[in-house]
Chains A and B, each alone.
Chain A
């Protein structure tokens, strides 16, 4: 389809393992966002990519979290040495316009991570 695609949709891992979550944004969208949705915590901003600019990493909760965006398209969120508190749904969104122009964010269905 033409929407934001995320994989895997579900991931169960053991504490201490590394995981990679993938996001394929809508073609032509220049901005890409990662959010984390935890029960009772709403949506927590993690990281934001806009074109070729340096990403805004201000929301990453620890240095175990990192993300990259290759070729201005696909993004990978990596969590190293996972902890149980990392269990959440990780949402990716993309947009055509920079959000300050009140553009609309298009979200994927998320990757549900469970750390045992």
Chain B
């Protein structure tokens, strides 16, 4: 079945460091890919998405490119801030009617000043 694998955390960085959180997927067909973020004490919220190969999703300085050849959707940010500390979830939708998002296990990011 479809699945998402993301790098284990926690990831600890200093402010202004570069961030990469790896995400790879297994799916039949052509899934849509998502990154969700869960800030402390808040519900998950969509960070960015990409619906077809080579699409780049971006938001709040974060980017991820849908790479079909490597079945990857790595999350990147050039300069992290303390406020980016959160849990990040990679997810996919197989674009079939009546199916739910499949999530990775989440990666905790802690950024210190």
Contact = CB atoms under 8 A, between A and B. Distances in A.
A69 B94 CA distance: 24
Contacts of A102: 32, 49, 51, 93, 95
B44 interface: yes
Given A41-B105, A56-B100, A100-B96, A105 B46 contact: yes
Chain B: interface residue count, which band? 20 to 34
Interface residues of A, number: 28
Contacts of B42: 109
A107 B103 contact: no
Nearest to B50: A102
A3 B44 CA distance: 12
Given A43-B106, A110-B43, A99 B49 contact: no
Interface string A40-55: 1111010010100100
Given A91-B44, A102-B51, A42 B89 contact: yes
A5 to B, nearest CB: 10
A106 B49 CA distance: 14
Interface string A59-101: 1000000000000000000000000000000010100001111
A14 interface: no
B99 interface: yes
B43 A42 contact: no
A107 B105 contact: no
B12 to A, nearest CB: 18
Interface of B: 32, 36, 41-46, 49, 51, 89, 91, 93-106
Of all A-B residue pairs in the complex, the 3 with the closest CB atoms, nearest first, are: A42-B105, A43-B103, A107-B43
Interface of A: 3-4, 33, 35, 40-43, 45, 48, 50, 53, 56, 59, 91, 93, 98-102, 104-110
